[in-house]
């Protein structure tokens, strides 16, 4: 019980400290109704065939051209014709086939950086290390800095990344307009030669706006994990949810950042994605299929949240750091009679608590919990002060001489002894 009280005290203390760092800036949401994509892309291609003979390594370079032409689009689906001067219409090295000539369909929202159309929506480009998870791709982008190149007679900025795309290691450079300037995938190197024209894609406007009141603000949650030592959950930091982008046809970009108070470090606690360290992760999907902080149909008997089905248990009161809420409780059984996930939404549809519960023969054990702190934005790149490295060496008092301090100590000791003797004699 004392450990549990201590955990709560620690959380209150850390929360109080973190609130002093709260930035007045809010995480604004951009609604994307349309995008302009390149209609024609031309690349120079190199295939490097490396062989070793004895102590010598010999590299043979094969040069090709590769052309992409967009001939139509349907919302986020782009139809592309790919041609090149490679043998038998196949870009290959040995048994490895990289690409074939032909017609392809690409979802430009769900498939950024695809070799079938090397383009990424500009709003998804950040000059930091981050991750992206879509139904089609899991991507970790490690930022390497920027450089400059003259392309189409224009001096352009290029953002450089080391990328892990579904387990494949790439080196990628991206232009601010979203075109991939450079791609290196093992022995394959693509370098942009030119691009022509643009095609404007307009998204359906019937879905996205219904979520705007929920997403145009940040959400901060305290994270609790179970400790066997405390026999309770203890605080371990925060999760911050922001919604930088919503496409008008309903695709939502959710930014999830781990926040932790660390002396002398930035507030963002890097996450591991595909074995790479990233500052935050972007989830790109429809709202019901990704981790979000709200539902628009609160109170209904069944909901879909983060790809799972939940059923309504009933109404209850929930105590959180942000206050006490009347809430709807939803349940998802992970393993019948063994574990479950519980969600608590207030009457407006905001997630105020999430619990992962292990069901035992005695009493349920909460293994993990999210606790709503409020619609608070903490700048994840702000650095917390190094409280363990105090550099002010000026003392707020005057040091007395050693001889004088010794004399004072002796006199005080004699006085104390005399008082004790007198008191003892009176007794």
Distance in angstroms (rounded) separating the CA atoms of residues 142 and 130: 7
Higher confidence at residue 406 or residue 304?
Answer: 304
Note the pLDDT tens digit of each residue in 5-27. 334 333 433 344 333 333 334 56
In a domain, 363, yes or no: yes
Distance in angstroms (rounded) separating the CA atoms of residues 107 and 80: 11
In a domain, 113, yes or no: yes
Q: Which domain holds residue 327?
A: 207-374
Q: Which residues contact 419 (CB under 8 A, 6 or more apart)?
A: none
SS3 408: helix
Residue 262 banded pLDDT, cuts 50, 70, 90: confident
278 and 356 co-located in one domain? yes
Note the pLDDT tens digit of each residue in 77-128. 999 999 999 989 999 988 899 999 999 999 999 999 999 999 999 999 999 9
Length reported for the chain = 427
Residue 427 banded pLDDT, cuts 50, 70, 90: low
Higher confidence at residue 297 or residue 262?
Answer: 297
In a domain, 390, yes or no: no
pLDDT for res 151: 82
Domain CATH for 211:
2.40.360
pLDDT for res 403: 61
pLDDT for res 387: 64
In a domain, 10, yes or no: no
Q: Which residues contact 9 (CB under 8 A, 6 or more apart)?
A: none
281 and 166 co-located in one domain? no
Q: Are 170 and 163 in contact (CB under 8 A)?
A: yes
95 and 68 co-located in one domain? yes
Note the pLDDT tens digit of each residue in 279-294. 999 999 999 899 999 9
Q: Are 283 and 139 in contact (CB under 8 A)?
A: no
197 and 211 co-located in one domain? no
Number of C-alpha atoms within 13 angstroms, CB side, residue 396? Answer: 0
Whether the per-residue pLDDT at 376 is higher than 70: the answer is: yes
175 and 258 co-located in one domain? no
pLDDT for res 16: 40
Kindly report the backbone phi and psi dihedral angles of residue 49, in degrees, each rounded to the nearest multiple of 5, phi listed first. Answer: -105, 110
Whether the per-residue pLDDT at 382 is higher than 80: the answer is: yes
Calculate mean pLDDT across residues 154-168.
94
Calculate mean pLDDT across residues 234-253.
92
150 and 270 co-located in one domain? no
139 and 220 co-located in one domain? no
Closest CA to 98 of 82, 78, 121, 76: 82
Last residue of a domain, one of 146, 181, 202: 202
In a domain, 128, yes or no: yes
In a domain, 12, yes or no: no
Residue 204 banded pLDDT, cuts 50, 70, 90: confident
DSSP character string of 238-258:
EEEEEEEEEETTS-EEEEEEE
Number of domains in the chain: 2
Rounded mean pLDDT of the chain? 86
Calculate mean pLDDT across residues 174-187.
95
Last residue of a domain, one of 329, 344, 374: 374
pLDDT for res 23: 37
Whether the per-residue pLDDT at 35 is higher than 90: the answer is: yes
pLDDT for res 401: 62
- Out of 59-63, 266-270, 326-330, the most confident range is 326-330
Higher confidence at residue 19 or residue 184?
Answer: 184
pLDDT for res 18: 38
Calculate mean pLDDT across residues 231-256.
91
Whether the per-residue pLDDT at 38 is higher than 80: the answer is: yes
C-alpha pair distances (Å), 199 with each of 79, 176, 195, 248, 336: 12, 17, 12, 18, 51
Calculate mean pLDDT across residues 138-152.
93
In a domain, 400, yes or no: no
131 and 221 co-located in one domain? no
pLDDT for res 414: 72
Q: Are 69 and 38 in contact (CB under 8 A)?
A: no
214 and 344 co-located in one domain? yes
Last residue of a domain, one of 354, 374, 394: 374
Calculate mean pLDDT across residues 200-213.
80
174 and 131 co-located in one domain? yes
pLDDT for res 416: 75
Whether the per-residue pLDDT at 368 is higher than 80: the answer is: yes
Higher confidence at residue 12 or residue 339?
Answer: 339
Whether the per-residue pLDDT at 321 is higher than 60: the answer is: yes
Q: Are 360 and 378 in contact (CB under 8 A)?
A: no
303 and 260 co-located in one domain? yes
Whether the per-residue pLDDT at 2 is higher than 60: the answer is: no
Note the pLDDT tens digit of each residue in 59-82. 899 999 999 999 999 989 999 999
pLDDT for res 53: 78
In a domain, 214, yes or no: yes
Calculate mean pLDDT across residues 350-358.
95
DSSP 419: H
223 and 101 co-located in one domain? no
pLDDT for res 364: 83
């Amino acid at each position: 019980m004392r450990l549990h009280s201590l955990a709560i005290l620690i959380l209150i203390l850390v929360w109080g400290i973190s609130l002093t760092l709260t930035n007045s800036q809010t995480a604004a949401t951009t609604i994307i109704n349309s995008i302009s994509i390149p209609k024609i892309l031309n690349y120079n291609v190199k295939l490097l065939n490396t062989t070793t003979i004895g102590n010598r390594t010999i590299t043979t370079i094969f040069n090709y051209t590769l052309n992409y032409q967009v001939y139509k689009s349907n919302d986020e689906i782009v139809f592309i014709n790919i041609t090149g001067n490679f043998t038998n219409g196949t870009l290959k090295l040995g048994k490895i086939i990289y690409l074939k000539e032909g017609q392809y369909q690409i979802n430009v929202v769900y498939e950024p950086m695809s070799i079938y159309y090397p383009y990424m929506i500009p709003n998804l480009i950040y000059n930091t290390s981050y991750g992206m998870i879509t139904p089609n791709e899991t991507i970790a982008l490690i930022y390497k800095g920027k450089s400059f190149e003259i392309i189409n007679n224009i001096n352009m900025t290029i953002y450089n990344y080391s990328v892990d795309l579904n387990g494949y290691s790439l080196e990628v450079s991206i232009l601010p307009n979203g075109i991939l300037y450079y791609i290196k995938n093992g022995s394959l190197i693509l370098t942009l030669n030119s691009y022509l024209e643009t095609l404007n894609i307009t998204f359906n406007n019937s879905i996205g706006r219904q979520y705007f009141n929920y997403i145009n603000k940040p959400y901060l949650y305290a994270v609790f994990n179970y400790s066997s030592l405390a026999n309770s959950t203890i605080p371990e930091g925060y999760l911050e949810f922001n919604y930088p982008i919503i496409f008008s046809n309903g695709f939502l970009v959710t930014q999830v950042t781990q926040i932790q108070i660390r002396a002398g470090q930035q507030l963002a606690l890097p996450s591991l994605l595909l074995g790479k360290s990233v500052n935050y992760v972007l989830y790109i999907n429809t709202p019901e299929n990704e981790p979000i902080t709200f539902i628009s149909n609160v109170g209904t008997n069944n909901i879909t949240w983060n790809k799972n089905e939940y059923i309504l248990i009933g109404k209850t009161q929930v105590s959180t750091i942000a206050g006490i809420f009347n809430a709807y409780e939803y349940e998802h059984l992970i393993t019948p009679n063994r574990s479950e996930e519980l969600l608590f939404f207030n009457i407006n549809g905001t997630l105020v608590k999430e619990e992962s519960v292990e069901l035992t023969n005695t009493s349920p054990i909460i293994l993990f919990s999210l606790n709503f702190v409020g619609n608070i934005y903490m700048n994840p790149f702000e650095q917390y002060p190094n409280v363990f490295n105090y550099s002010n060496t000026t003392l707020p008092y005057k040091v007395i001489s050693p001889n004088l301090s010794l004399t004072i100590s002796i006199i005080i000791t004699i006085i104390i002894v005399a008082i004790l003797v007198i008191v003892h004699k009176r007794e």
